[in-house]
Structure formats: structure tokens, C-alpha cells
Structure 1
């Protein structure tokens, strides 16, 4: 297996993706022979890529697009979940009337440490809402 490099994330960090999430991320995984659905499986695929032999410091600039993808998964799989912008360029996903997920913060932490994974964070949100994974 080849070493994963920051350049593998080139399709993540585009102006379009910065505005709308990482819609083109599936291209990266398609090139590697993987599908990237907006589900927990998609998050698991990103976790796997991050757990590969990759320079985490080189990926620090990708926290936002990875977080935006995590937010897309939340809004596509949790009924009523929606985006909210606290201040310009600082989005979060409201999962209930009183709870929200700092998706960029989750991604930044995931790039720094291996645990919890994106998939584990997602499972925690589902558990908190009483939904099944």
C-alpha cells in the first residue's frame, strides 16, 4: 500500500468545498477504488485514510473540509439536523433545539489524535439522539 500524502486531499480544499462541504471528496476515494457515501461508512473511510501512514501536520489545513463532510453526514442522516453559522466561516450542525456539533472542532481533534474517530463521534451523536448506527 502506498503512503498517503497531503496531496491526496487536493480535491477537498477547494473554494467550492469551503462553501458547501466536500462534495468532490468521493473523487479522491474513487481514485483509490473506494466509495464515499454520506453515512457512517463514509466517515469510517476517512478515518481509515487518516490512520494510514500519513503526515497529520501536512493535513492540518484540511480540518475544515473534513469537518464539512462530517456535517454533511449529520444533516443527511439525522432528521431535522441543519447547518447553522455562528460567525462567518464557523459552521456547526444543530442536531436538536438545544444541542449542536462543532464539526470543524471534531475534525481538528481527529487530525491531532486517533481517538475518538469521526465514526465514533457520529455514533455518539446517534446514541445521544436515541438513533441506531
Structure 2
């Protein structure tokens, strides 16, 4: 006998967005109750993790929506007689970066993003430079 159990084909799926929102509210309430000790740090990390998961989920859905649009565009070009052209991974990354840049510029958070990036790169540079002995 096999220990594996078949999963029903049609099962009830609970949207992740709702769970994340509920969990986020619970963590915020607990964080307000507890002011000192180690637990608020853990709760803060948990809250940050939930927020990051939500942002990652939004990004995945946005990419999932963009993919069919690109396919339609390629099909339309093929019907017009052009040869099919598939974007390389590096080109896809560049498009995503350009979109991120536009979004940051639109929301006026570009300068803070760039300053954080500069600080991070400066730290990396300092770490990799050899120590100078005088």
C-alpha cells in the first residue's frame, strides 16, 4: 500500500491576499500591546515578512498579466509577416528595471531609492577594497 494520498482535483482555494491582510492586522494589534522585550522585535520581523510577501505576490501577478500581453504582441507581429523574436532573460530584466524606474519616478520615491542604493554599493566597495597600511 502506498502512503501517498490523492488530492482532490477541485479543492477550495483560499486567496492569499485575505490571509496576509488578516495576519497583518493581528500582528499589528499584538505589536501595540507589547512594548518592551524581545517579542516586539520578532513581531516586527514577522510584520515586515508579511508585507514583503504581499509585495512579491503583487509583482508575480503583474508579471503574469504582462506575459500574455507580450505573447499577443508577438502573434500580431507574426501575422504581419515579421519573424518571431523572443526576449532574452537579460532584456526582460532590463524591461522590468525600466518599469520599476518609471514607477518610482511617478511615486516620487526615486531619490530615496537611489540614495539607499548608493549607500549599499559604497559599503560593498569598502568591504572589498584591500586595507591600506600606513
TM-score (normalizing by structure 1)? 0.27
Structure 1 or 2: larger helix share? 2
Q: Which has the higher contact order (CA 8 A, sep 6+)?
A: 1
Structure 1 or 2: larger strand share? 1
Larger Rg: 2
